Chain A
Amino acid sequence: QKEVEQNSGPLSVPEGAIASLNCTYSDRGSQSFFWYRQYSGKSPELIMFIYSNGDKEDGRFTAQLNKASQYVSLLIRDSQPSDSATYLCAVMGSGNTGKLIFGQGTTLQVKP
């Protein structure tokens, strides 16, 4: 079992729709969770981080964390073609080592 799992996609949504990206993790002691966006040929760019159970909203983005279910998700409202990218879920393992474990990423396609 991979430590951080994402559906590789592609996830295709029409412009203006809500895109829902999901991630599960295996280390129950994980404390910090991050979503990065990566355009083709570019470096990962942080878009959201969440530490506590529940929802965290930033503009069109909402991160949701459920530690009991070991599940973190990213919702993108009013999806735009410019949101088309690969979204990487990253989890900080227990033990405060600073090590991030990345999922393989989900490719999102927003169609005009």
Chain B
Amino acid sequence: NAGVTQTPKFQVLKTGQSMTLQCAQDMNHNSMYWYRQDPGMGLRLIYYSASEGTTDKGEVPNGYNVSRLNKREFSLRLESAAPSQTSVYFCASTGTNSNQPQHFGDGTRLSIL
């Protein structure tokens, strides 16, 4: 039972490069989320998708785009990476009732030089 799977686990980019972080869940969840975690900052919501075909901004959306490819997959794209985007990125999902707990992937550790 894989749960929430994120790829890659680690990535180093140069400033200005682009990349896409992938997330897939096998729990038939409707809602999916992207967070970033910086030291001492807790987790901050970047974007979320309440259901297939919908996306909405969270607390820190600038510099990111997302795609809800289907019910299973929710990707996060950095079009032009900046050092301020160096962080740990977590994807999460939750079921039909959005008040239910969110389940997290293992994270992607991203460094931008």
Contact = CB atoms under 8 A, between A and B. Distances in A.
Contact of A98 (B35, B50, B90, B105): B50
B53 interface: no
Given A88-B43, A105-B42, A98 B48 contact: yes
Contacts, number: 55
A98 B48 CA distance: 9
A28 B26 CA distance: 34
Nearest to A97: B98
7 contacts: A4-B42, A34-B102, A45-B104, A96-B98, A98-B33, A101-B45, A105-B42
Interface residues of B, number: 23
B2 interface: no
B99 A51 contact: yes
Most buried by A among B31, B42, B50: B42
Interface string A1-29: 00010001000000000000000000000
A104 B40 contact: yes
Nearest to A96: B98
Given A97-B50, A98-B48, 6 more contacts: A44-B90, A46-B101, A46-B102, A88-B42, A100-B33, A101-B45
B87 to A, nearest CB: 14
B58 interface: yes
